[in-house]
A and B are shown apart, each in its own frame.
Chain A
Amino acid sequence: MVLVYTEINKNRVKKSSLECVQYASKIAALTGGGVTALVNQASAEHLEELGKAGATAILNMNNESLNADHMLSCAAVEQAVKQCGAKVIVFAFDIAGKAIAPRLSARLKAGLVAGAIDYPVVNGSTFEVKKNVFSGKANAIYTIHSEVKIISLLPNSFPVVLGENKATIQDFQPDLSAVKSRITIKETKSNATGGMVPLPEAELVVSAGRGMKGPENWGMIEELANSLGATTACSRPVADLHWRPHHEHVGQTGVAIRPNLYIAVGISGAIQHLAGVNGSKTIVVINNDKEAPFFKSADYGILGDAFTVIPKLTEAIKKFKANQN
């Protein structure tokens, strides 16, 4: 049995959770057994969606307190592992996955590969799993030797294709009385994203750097993003200068993303910036310096002044969209 940790966020099953369910169903096809999704406070639609992604069974919890401390969610996962006899546990390599999967690994003495980018190769009692290392410059194949195996999957590594499968649903009440949480939440703050898809989940991203000269020039970046339905991002100096909020900063120190399309405007393409974006499927670079290193890591390059190129690109996209409808 493969157990998948899934989450609901903003009343949607997280995209990364659906990817994990689908990934788990491929593993189940290799090892035999089904896929159990563990979820908290899912509605009928959420449960249906998890089934369509490939869950054969769902353990639905109803526990408000779980989200308060990863120690609690880890204990819940541990009990679910026991209940369904899981030998493989799948997480997304996201905020929750980065906190819960390592704790679970230590508790179960189960080997963890964090940030997998491909399906495991089953080799006798071991798994071989590929992940990015050296901030995307290389890959490594890890062997998991332990009997129970944990994999966290890098978001946006696989597309999700929903089928017609229906899962059997069971209420699940983990007993958390023995877990003493020592964390109290004082305040919760939301990033002002203006309705855009959150950066880690975004398939289309428009990002801009110091080449934009100042925050007053971001209007045209937002308009370009809008025309595509893309999420905006920025380079580190732009966030450090407070031209843009910190949650938009991508790269080694910021968020690592791998959208289908990454448009970089006025960004030089420093290695630490590339570390967070070189997993993108297609990269478009707009820069007025033909020596800008980013051109070496791009699929399409436009040599020109952002201030003239961006309005033209926005217009071309609007025209394209209008023709499609």
Chain B
Amino acid sequence: MKILVAISNVPDTTTKIQFSDNNTKFNAAGVTFIINPYDEWYALVRALELKEANLAEKVTLIHVGLPDGDATIRKGLALGADDAVRIDAEGPDSFFVADQIAAYAKEKGYELILTGKETINYNGSSVAGMIAGVLDYPLISLATKLDIAGGKLTAEHDVDGGSRVVECELPAVISCAKGMAEQRIPNMRGIMAARTKPLEVVKPINSPEVSGPLTSVKSFDLNPGRTSCKMLGEDQMDELVKLLHTEAKVI
């Protein structure tokens, strides 16, 4: 069985967010890009562990994006993925991205597709469910554990007020959250090997059923955040309670 891991290229979590072109584009100047943390720490590392346990033959990375994502893809190869493919298109929306990944997975016979639980830039939590929808595969959403036994998956995932252990037949799509695996640091050998591992670049497919993007971003604005903090001393707790009641009106 081959595993396809969908990785997204996102600004480092500590980036100061800025926009350009009249607030219609993310300003990438001087920004460090990383593999979306959930895709790396959970989806990719768990896929590698399954391969190391001889439960999978191969781990392939897939990224939908432009050449500026190649450095991020190489980081994934350095962690131990066997090869990678980049669908050469600026993903205008989640459905477009999912449709591309679904088409590739189907054509190349990947039975297990892993994604992160959400991207830290667009926070959609959408791509995994859309891939499952396009392919009519089951989805295990927000999975915190994943195993393979007897050709079947066992997984634990979050549900309202708790979690659930399920068994699932392949093929399937899994969105991965904290708990699934531990972060790994790439070693020198991995980094050297990554330089020569295959990174295939393919043209996007055209879905016959949709003529244009289903959604697009019109504009961005920064959240102003909080501007002033009212400071109180430890002996002013009655005052604080009063402010929470009369000023903030939250109690």
Contact = CB atoms under 8 A, between A and B. Distances in A.
B234 A134 contact: no
A101 B126 contact: yes
Contact of A9 (B129, B161, B165, B238): B161
Given A106-B134, A132-B123, A141 B218 contact: yes
B9 interface: no
Contacts of B124: 114-115
Contacts of A132: 123, 223
Nearest to B144: A246
A140 interface: yes
A176 interface: no
B65 interface: no
A82 interface: no
A263 B154 CA distance: 38
Interface in A276-325: 278, 281-285, 295-305, 308-309, 312-313, 315-317, 319-320
A104 B126 CA distance: 11
Interface stretch (B45-53, B77-85, B240-248): B240-248
B90 interface: no
Interface stretch (A27-35, A178-186, A207-215): A178-186
Contacts of B142: 95, 98
15 contacts: A102-B126, A103-B133, A105-B130, A106-B130, A109-B210, A111-B213, A135-B120, A138-B220, A140-B218, A140-B220, A183-B138, A301-B232, A308-B234, A309-B234, A309-B237
Contacts of B159: 95, 188
A299 B220 contact: no
Contacts of A320: 238, 241-242, 245, 251
A69 B164 CA distance: 11
Interface in B200-251: 209-210, 212-223, 225-226, 229-238, 240-245, 248, 250-251
A139 interface: yes
A140 B219 contact: yes
Interface residues of A, number: 99
Contacts of B177: 253
Contacts of A313: 237, 240-241
A218 B51 CA distance: 41
A246 B179 contact: yes
A320 B241 CA distance: 7
Given A133-B121, A316-B238, A100 B226 contact: no
Given A140-B217, A281-B248, 14 more contacts: A10-B161, A71-B132, A106-B129, A109-B209, A114-B124, A142-B218, A145-B212, A181-B138, A182-B172, A184-B166, A187-B165, A188-B163, A284-B244, A305-B234
Interface of A (DSSP majority class): mixed
Contacts of A143: 215-218
Contacts of A260: 250
A177 interface: no
A300 B240 contact: yes
A45 to B, nearest CB: 20
Interface stretch (A18-26, A47-55, A166-174, A189-197): A189-197
Given A132-B123, A313-B240, A298 B250 contact: no
A99 interface: yes
A202 interface: no
